Amino acid sequence: MTKNKYIAIATLILAALAVFLVLKSSNSTIKADFAVEDQASITKIFMSDKLNNKVTLKRVDETKWLVNDKYQARADGIDILMETVTQLRVKEPVTIAGRNNVIKWLASKSTKVEIYQTVYRINLFNKIKWFPHEKLTKVYYVGDETQDNNGTFMLMQGSDEPFICYIPGFRGFLSPRYTALESDWRNHAICDLKIGEIKSVRLEFPTAPDSSFEITRYDRNFELKALKNNQIINGYDTLKLLDFMSSFTNLNFEAFRNNMSKHDIDSITSQIPMAILTINDITGKAYKVKGFLKLAEVGSIDEVTGKEIFVDRDRFYGLVNDDKDFVFLQYFTFNQILKPISFFRPKRDKK
């Protein structure tokens, strides 16, 4: 009996100690569980910064995300963010001496991050899962980088202990990955069409109408027409035409420039476009790009001739998405598209 009595007392003491530790843990304001274990369960991420920028990234399916319920998200950006929120680790707590300053910085200059996941009201050993619903599971604040640029200050909501966080194997800081700017998350695609998905391509050069043309596909055949006189061009170079029609797979612009002043955008877009490109797919959807020359930086010099350059040779401006977005376009991408109709005419044999 005595032995059983001691065992019972020891059991009660251990149980009481366990309850004490659980309560202490639940009442603690030190929280450092930043990382999400199950990436596939993430349904939505909301971010906002101190400049009133806000963005909501919402999962549509396994590969597609929407930005603010309006635009397709950049796949590469989402991949980097998923890597960040799942591999995030705590390097160390902020020192006592620096804690107050870091908390002040986070209060005035940080990005709030809310992560929503699919959870189950009944989850038995991760095998029997019933009644799924979306739940806000993590809220934390992302601040500036540490002095050595290899860590980022972060603070969990409800905690008074900031931490220095990092990703193992990554040298650098993480705050740029948590941008709340809508434009940073939007897809840069103009179109992504294979030859079989294209009905017609029209390329107009307003200042060079003799060079303008339209290509229309009829089953497996293509018709090349000069726009100046609507003349059908026979005997065109088939390989060059097919190469041209293959240029609309994964066609992207470089960057949004909607943040330029309205005056500057209006001044540029009021000029005669250097080119107007219209692609129509077989479903009837049209993709249109208007290109405008971009002036070179003052004092730009040609490295070969030594003469001053007045027009930018790397980039030009563009209007896309039904003229709603003002963007940078690269000649590197568009040089294979901005061809005159003469490009398709076969070269005559020299005699």
CB 233 within 8 A of CB 224: yes
Residue-wise pLDDT for 303-313, tens only, equals: 888 888 889 99
Q: How confident is the model at residue 28 (pLDDT cuts 50, 70, 90)?
A: very low
Rounded mean pLDDT, 108-126: 89
Residue-wise pLDDT for 243-302, tens only, equals: 999 999 999 999 999 999 999 999 999 999 999 999 999 999 999 999 999 999 888 888
Q: How confident is the model at residue 9 (pLDDT cuts 50, 70, 90)?
A: low
Q: How confident is the model at residue 350 (pLDDT cuts 50, 70, 90)?
A: very low
Under DSSP, is residue 309 helix (H, G, I), strand (E, B) or coil? coil
Mention every residue, 6+ apart, whose C-beta is less than 8 A from residue 155. Answer: 102, 103, 106, 110, 140, 141, 143, 161, 162, 163
Residue-wise pLDDT for 69-108, tens only, equals: 999 999 999 999 999 999 999 999 999 989 999 999 999 9
Residue-wise pLDDT for 210-245, tens only, equals: 999 999 999 889 999 999 999 999 999 999 999 999
State residue 23's pLDDT score: 39
Structure pTM?
A: 0.79
Under DSSP, is residue 338 helix (H, G, I), strand (E, B) or coil? coil
